[in-house]
Amino acid sequence: MKIVYTLILSFALSSTFAKEHNQTSSLLVFSNFNNPNQSENLLNSALISLSEGINPKAFNKAWKTEGTKWVEKVKVATDVSTLSAAYLTLSEQIKPKYFKPSWEKSKDKWVKQVKEARSNLALAGLLKSFYNHLTPETFTEDWQSVGAQWLETLNKIE
């Protein structure tokens, strides 16, 4: 039952956040069925969805070439350490002006916690924290309608 629920939730998540229904969204959904650790796939999808919800102007120039490689790595990540590295990369690729002033005080602690994370639950909490430090201008117009649902999905990660 858990696999079916996760598959349905993953499909809804990728359908909601996909800019267009394409092969990539389908791969994220069907990869959940084969992976025994369902939370990782929800976390992978949530991380990719967040990156897609960020306005391209909020990224450093390097993201244009590195972003595609980053997404491919996140799609196939199966462990906490790989996802942690992806968190750090994403945080480094966003221009400083798109973070709230509180980020400067919290950044070092957040980075340390990401590096020390040992579970999907810890990573989900850290992703929410990261999200809360981004300014509203960081996101695309489309994100406004899906941000709350995205947070609900993160709350379901075990």
Instruction: Please compute the mean of the pLDDT values over residues 139-154 and round it to a whole number.
Output: 91
**Which residue type occupies 10?**
S
Lowest-pLDDT range of 52-61, 84-93, 141-150: 141-150
CB 112 within 8 A of CB 103: no
Q: pTM for this structure?
A: 0.75
CB 101 within 8 A of CB 132: no
pLDDT (0 to 100) of residue 27? 29
pLDDT band at 47; cut points 50, 70, 90: very high
Whole-number CA gyration radius for the chain: 15
pLDDT (0 to 100) of residue 157? 83
Checking if the pLDDT of 58 tops 60, the result is: yes
**Which residue type occupies 15?**
S
Centroid of chain to Cα 60? 18
Quickly list DSSP for 95-157.
Answer: -GGGB-THHHHHHHHHHHHHHH--SHHHHHHHHHHHHHTB-GGGB-TTHHHHHHHHHHHHHT-
pLDDT tens, residue by residue, 98-142? 999 999 999 999 999 999 999 999 999 999 999 999 999 999 999
